[in-house]
Structure 1
Amino acid sequence: MKPVIGVMPLFDNQKDSIWMLPAYLDLLEKYGAIPLILPFTTNQENLDYFLGQCDGFLFTGGQDVSPELYGTLPSELSGEPCLKRDKMEIYCMQKVIAMDKPLLGICRGIQVLNVVNGGTLYQDIAAEYSTQIAHDMTAPYDRVQHSVKLLKEGPLFQLLEKENLGVNSYHHQAIKDLAPNLEATALSADDLIEAVYMPDKKFVWAVQWHPEFFGTDTVVNERLFKAFIAKC
């Protein structure tokens, strides 16, 4: 039987509505899973039902994480947070990790994972970090913006069998202080953390780039999503 993957819904603050990029679901379906978009709620009893029923979880991209969650006042360059989404995803992520269910984080997902485990973020890379790399690219997003180095001791290197990987880059925030129970598995040329994993868990991985914009026809996405789904 195919595993069921709970997908965190995207939220539009201006339209007060949930939405979804179909490519997240396409990647899960093509590589052997049944995607299920979770309801947008902070009702823990309702969330517990889905946390129990789903075999794995995909934490999607989206809004900036509220700086107050990592002990910092918001700067004027920090984007408008969605506090309900923060609350929902933090609750879900803590429970998923405690249950040792597989988890894959993308963009915002890597940032939530770091914050949940005690790390911090740069609220705006351009203002807080000296770099010549443009991490917040413009459309179209299905192209390489820069390369990342896969660390040889990490699982991404073992999975993809390459030291350098071209990625897109659509974010203005990034990991600052890495959470103590996470380990980096990819770095950009300016040494920003681009991927992490939790060594003592079945599968807790997260990447800063956007696989969904590259679609279902790349070897990298195929290996990444098959590895995730195989653990579910």
Structure 2
Amino acid sequence: MDDAVRLESLTKTYGSGTGAVSALREVDLSFPRGSFTAVMGPSGSGKSTLLQCAAGLDRPTSGRVFIDGTDIGGLNETRLTEFRRESTGFVFQAFNLLPSLTAAQNVGLPLRLAGRKPGRKTVLRALAQVGLEDQAGKRPSQLSGGQQQRVAVARALVTRPAVLFADEPTGALDITTGRELLEVLRKLVGSPVMGGQAADDPELVEPTTIVMVTHDPNVASYADRVVFLADGALVGELTTPTAEAVAARMTDLAVS
């Protein structure tokens, strides 16, 4: 299995001289295609910085970031913006939906920003992946918080990105709707699935690669793997994690 994202000696330093702060220190990490990885660590550990650098939203001080085989450090700002739009999706804690647009129109927005007309089949396929093809004509105010976040996920998936980055995606949701969203994310990872009957398109949708930052052990337990950061460095990982095992590891990091 090849990597959707690979980080090599990733370092991010803010400031200079005696006031310099190292947010990331020589991090080597890979995220295989079709995998679901949670990134955890104490406050100030560098997990959000790692996500931003890995997604191309911020440039590292040194080191290399490969997304879908492309070294994004060699891209100028214009090309990097285009590459992010085509090859990455990002889901934030805030839904960031435009209230005047329908769910379908919100999902199609990244394609319009890229100068492409969003096809109905393409948009419905993305909504079908999150179980909301029957809500395509509704505006955000007509949807629950969980449904709005699922629309945000569909919007991130509409370009068929190599990787979906998620920063505390359940942070604004209650426990029940948060669990529903995580089950959707879980289903996006793994073997290819059909594009959805609503899309009337038999084309296979490739497995999604997800990299998610969270502080919640229960949320992290939905991932295939949890990687832990402390003081900007990679300090361990768990595979097939349970909430209890993740919580225990976080407690160890807090007291170490």
TM superposition score normalised by structure 2: 0.28
Q: Which structure is richer in relative contact order (CA contacts within 8 A, separation 6 or more)?
A: 2
Higher percent of residues as strand: 2
TM superposition score normalised by structure 1: 0.30
Higher percent of residues as helix: 2
